[in-house]
Amino acid sequence: MYSLTLHVITLFQGRVDTAIHTIHGFPDVHSALLEGAHLAEAFRIGAPSCATVHTAYHAYK
């Protein structure tokens, strides 16, 4: 089973606040981001959509 660690980070100036910090076992980063968004939604930790997590990743990177 895939595992990952989600860290909630603060991105100022109106940017989204959730990003993937550590990724294990995913075939590529995009898959991990999509899965991370679904998990974040499920646990209600502040990632409203897959696109939001993807955007956060690029802003964080």
- What CA–CA distance (Å, rounded) separates 56 from 49? 11
Which pLDDT score is estimated for 53? 54
- Kindly state the DSSP code that residue 58 receives in the 8-state scheme: H
| Secondary structure class of 19 (helix, strand, coil) | strand
Whether this model's pTM surpasses 0.75? no
pLDDT tens over the chain, length 61 residues: 344 444 443 333 334 444 444 444 555 555 656 666 555 544 444 444 455 555 555 554 4
For residues 50 and 35, what is the distance between their CA atoms, to the nearest angstrom?
8
Pairing of strands 18-24, 3-8: antiparallel
> d(Cα 3, Cα 26) in Å, to the nearest integer?
8
| pLDDT (0 to 100) of residue 29 | 57
